Amino acid sequence: MKLIDYVQGRGARSALAKKLNLTPVLISQWANETRPVPPERCVEIEVATDGEVSRRDLRPDDWWRIWPELTAKPEVTS
């Protein structure tokens, strides 16, 4: 799931920001793709969203370079 889809509606952006101890503005910038999500934050987001937003979703162009161990696992789609 894309981050923008996850954070839309009912305070999800603020709730995620609070879980990660970040500002909602930064979450918005990542969700709107005006700033890339740093690799070191991707795992935190994946955990905070209970896997709904994966590292693969957050870094579609280079996830396999950053986390090569994920290439051995098939991607689960809903």
- Residue 9 is part of which domain span? 3-68
Residue 73 belongs to some domain of the structure? no
pLDDT mean across residues, the chain:
91
Cα–Cα distance measured from residue 62 to residue 39, given in angstroms and rounded to the nearest whole number: 10
Asked, for residue 59, whether it belongs to a domain, the answer is yes
| 75 inside domain | no
Count the domains in the chain. Answer: 1
Question: Does residue 20 sit within a domain?
Answer: yes
Mean pLDDT, range 21-43, rounded to an integer: 96
The domain that holds 18 is classified in CATH as: 1.10.260.40
- Report the alpha-carbon distance of residue 18 to residue 78 in Å, rounded: 27
Categorize the per-residue pLDDT at 11 as very low, low, confident or very high, splitting at 50, 70 and 90.
Answer: confident
The encoded tokens of residue 47 equal 């955990």
Mean pLDDT of 25-40: 96
On the question of pLDDT at 21 being above 70, the answer is yes
Q: How far apart are CA 67 and CA 78, in angstroms?
A: 22
Residues 52-76 pLDDT 10s: 999 999 999 999 999 999 888 565 6
- Establish if 7 belongs to a structural domain: yes
Q: What pLDDT is attached to residue 73?
A: 57
Structural domain contains residue 76: no
